[in-house]
Amino acid sequence: MENHVKRLAKTLAETGALFFDENLVLKDGRPTPYFVNMAMFKTGRLSLLMGSFFAEMMVSKGLEKRVDVILGPSYKGSTIALSTSIALWQEYQKDLVFEYDRKEAKTHGEATGKKGLFVNQSFFDGCRLFIVDDVATSMGTKYDLLEKIEAEAHLRGMAIHVEGVGIGIDREQTTAVYDEDGNVIPGRKGRSAIGDFVSKSGISVFAVAGISAVVQYLYEEKNPVLVGGKRVPIDDGTKATFDLYMETYGIEGAKAAKPQF
C-alpha cells in the first residue's frame, strides 16, 4: 500500500473525518454505514497534511512533471489547490501555480473589459492543468469547471490541456437508482459517476485513496475510529457491514486519456 494512502487513513481516523454510525443517509437518499467529512481538515497543520497527500500521490504517478497549474474548484477545492502547491514546493522543490475559479465572472479591476472566470489569471497557451477536489459524487462540479476552462480557452484564444482530476477519497460506489416517483430504490446499483466522466471527457481521475483500502488498513492496524460516537478500533461487525455495503453498491473506476480544449 502506498505511503500517502496509509497517512491519509490515519489522519481520517485521528480527526474523526471518517466515522461509522447507524441511520446515516447520503445526499442521494441512500443509507450508508459510514461518512467522510473532509471539512475536518480545517487547521493549518491539517490543511498542509491534505496538500502533502495530494502532492505525494501526484509525484508517485509522475503527474508533477506533466502539470503547470493546480486548479481547485471553489470553494473546498481552492484550499486543496493552495495546500498541494505549498506541499509540492516544501517537499519536492516543485513550484507550481495554483488557481481557482469564481462563482461569478469578475468584470472590474484587472478584469475590466473581460469576463474573469479565474482568480489568478494564470493560464497561458499550452498550459497543463491538474484539477483537485475533496470527493467525487455526481462529478457535476467537474463538468461545470471544464465548461469554464473551455470558455476561458476560447475567450483568450489559447489551448489548455487538462492532465487529470485528483480527488481525496473515492467512495468507489455507483449512483442511486430511483423509481418513477423519484424515490430511491434500495439495493440497486446505478452507474459509475467517475466512469461516466472519464468516458465523456477523456480525462483520467486519480484518487489519493479508495475507501476500501482505507477501511481495510484501519481494520488491520486496529486504529481507533469513530464508531457510534466512540473512538474504538473497527470490529468485525462494523467491517462486515461495510463489506456488505460495498458489495451492494460498489464499483471499480476507470481511466482514459486526456483531451485538449
Q: Taking a C-beta distance cutoff of 8 angstroms, is the pair 60, 51 a contact?
A: no
Residue spans of the domains in the chain: they are 3-249
**Residue 26 cell numbers, joined:** 447520503
The neighbour count for residue 183, using CB atoms within 10 Å, is 9
Give me the chain's average pLDDT, please: 91
pTM for this one? 0.87
State residue 254's pLDDT score. 33
Point out the least confidently predicted range of 125-139, 149-163, 243-257: 243-257
State residue 158's pLDDT score. 96
State residue 252's pLDDT score. 59
Helix, strand, coil fractions of the chain, as percent rounded to 5? 40, 25, 30
Q: Is there a cis peptide before residue 75, judged by omega within 30 degrees of 0?
A: yes
| Cα atoms found within 13 Å of the Cα of residue 125, Cβ hemisphere only | 3
Tens digit of pLDDT for each residue in 53-80?
A: 999 999 999 999 999 999 999 888 999 9
What is the fold of 3-249? Rossmann fold (3.40.50)
Q: Is 26 exposed, middle or buried (0-12, 13-18, 19+ CB in 10 A)?
A: middle
Q: Taking a C-beta distance cutoff of 8 angstroms, is the pair 85, 166 a contact?
A: no
State residue 27's pLDDT score. 85
State residue 103's pLDDT score. 72
